[in-house]
Chain A
Amino acid sequence: MRRTLALLLLAMAAPIASAADKVVRASELKAEPFSDAATVATLAANSNVTVLAREGGWYRVTSQGREGWVRLFNIRRGDSAGGSSGLGEAAEFISTGRSGSSGVTVATGIRGLDAADVTRARPDYAALERTAGFSVDKVAAQRFARRAGLSSREIAYGVMKGGRSKGTEQAIPGVDW
């Protein structure tokens, strides 16, 4: 009885894994989501992992019976074409009327959105006017942020070194519109 219950609970603890999550390079499996935490093991490049949860820039994973944390950018999440939890697929079908892997679309009246929808579209100014009622002002937004304990910090775009964009990197000082 207890064994059945345990198995049932295990099945319900659906990880967010897909069948093909891997580490893209040799990575350290850490005891906690910090770079100076103890190293549980070193995972070889391309090892399979099961992703369980995320905290900041770390995923909690299991790999070959060991559990620990790996940096998010070291994980390559594979697509679920190789098989995902049955519960996930069924839930997707129910909510969207579509089955991802089989490509079957059930007509439920829910609109998809593709390129043809856009090129055929006629502008809907009335709908646009209605969206004005959703917007909030800066002050309301700040109160909203405070309620969750969010606070502003000053960070220059330059911290993101290691890449170039073709546009101008600098804001035009003094121009606020």
Chain B
Amino acid sequence: MKGIQYVAAGLALMVLQGPAQAGDLLGGLGRLMDGERDIGDVVEVVEGVNKAFAEPSREDELVIGREAAAILLGAVPAVENREAQRYVNRVGRWVARHTERPNLPWRFVILDSPDINAFAAPGGYVFITRGLLLQMESEAELAGVLAHETVHVLERHHMAAVQQGARLDLAIGVVGNSVNREQREQVAQIANGFKDLYARGLDKDDEFAADRKGVVIATRAGYDPYGLPAVLQTLAAMNPADSSLAFLFKTHPAPQERLERLAPAFDGLEAYAGELTVAERFQRNVGVLR
């Protein structure tokens, strides 16, 4: 296959299938050029891609995320303190402005549980428990945790995990706000996939990626980059047998492992080390929840 045909094929694929799948196919074609594979292999790759699930749309994501968020609120209610909730939303929305999806309908909720945990749902829902909030000492720490959760939304970690784990097609085909009966059934199935996912947790690699990118996002918003690491150190300092940590530790890598993964990557953020922690405003707004 001549070079120009290779490029043309690549462009055509990118238009039809999207960059990620184009990459897979270009890789296959590259190997064909190198003589490693024959044409039969490439045809198989093309068919495999066509069999793969289609990409869910933004509307699909929002409908699925809404369902997942409703499940979490069915498990534990939101804290009934409007001012505290608004505060967390202000911090979260400011942080979210510094992501690649600033225009999602980001919504942040404090869950009324003494347990220590945080969750995200597709489309921009982020949850943090009262228990976790009360372990923090500054707005930079809160921003660090919220930023970590936004990465799960940005990278669509939950969508990918449910699609792969439960072998469900998340491209429901929602148009506008309306969901027909058949789609409602699909959503119900997907919701069960989310329940199982929240119960067991995401892949470790997804958590490490969320830590790494989350720290960058929080620092972009002007906060001290050590907010999230400080929270991880606080968790590491707690008695691991404390029941308020049980579910978190079941579903996430240990704080020490997360810190060890973050440490070598932090050199690049040294320049921002003096940024703001905003402790006083945090204590004022969160103190009411004690």
- A: residues with CB less than 8 A from B are 16, 18, 21, 54, 56-57, 72-73, 75-81, 84, 95-98, 100-101, 103, 105, 110-125, 127-128, 130-138, 140-142, 144-145, 148-163, 165-168, 171-172, 175-177
Contacts and interface: CB of A to CB of B under 8 A. Distances in A.
A121 B74 contact: yes
Contacts of B277: 56
B4 to A, nearest CB: 25
A150 B69 CA distance: 30
A95 B226 contact: no
Contact of A159 (B269, B274, B275): B269
Nearest to B141: A54
Contact of A125 (B70, B117, B240): B70
Contacts of B196: 119
Contacts of A119: 195-196, 199
Interface string B226-249: 100110011011111111101100
A140 B93 contact: yes
Interface string B38-50: 0000000000000
B37 interface: no
B92 to A, nearest CB: 8
Contacts of B267: 161-162
Contact of B219 (A124, A148, A153, A162): A153
B265 interface: yes
Given A135-B108, A144-B90, A73 B266 contact: yes
Contact of A176 (B98, B103, B250): B103
25 contacts: A56-B273, A73-B262, A77-B237, A79-B239, A95-B134, A96-B244, A111-B76, A112-B113, A114-B115, A118-B72, A121-B75, A123-B67, A123-B71, A128-B66, A131-B73, A134-B107, A137-B93, A150-B223, A161-B265, A163-B261, A165-B206, A165-B208, A167-B209, A177-B101, A177-B104
Contacts of B200: 115
B71 to A, nearest CB: 5
Q: Please list the 6 inter-chain residue pairs (A to B) with the smallest Cβ-Cβ separation, ordered nearest first.
A: A159-B268, A165-B209, A123-B70, A150-B222, A171-B100, A141-B93
Contacts of B251: 115
Contacts of A122: 71, 74
B85 interface: yes
Given A56-B224, A56-B274, A79 B238 contact: yes
Given A73-B266, A100-B238, 20 more contacts: A56-B226, A56-B273, A77-B234, A80-B237, A95-B114, A101-B239, A111-B113, A113-B247, A115-B199, A115-B247, A118-B198, A119-B199, A121-B195, A138-B102, A145-B94, A161-B268, A165-B208, A166-B206, A166-B209, A177-B58
Contacts of B102: 138, 176
A81 B234 CA distance: 14
Contacts of B131: 96
B10 to A, nearest CB: 17
Contacts of B244: 96, 98, 100, 112
B101 A176 contact: yes
Contacts of A171: 100
Nearest to A163: B265
Contact of A160 (B105, B212, B236): B212
Contacts of B89: 134-136
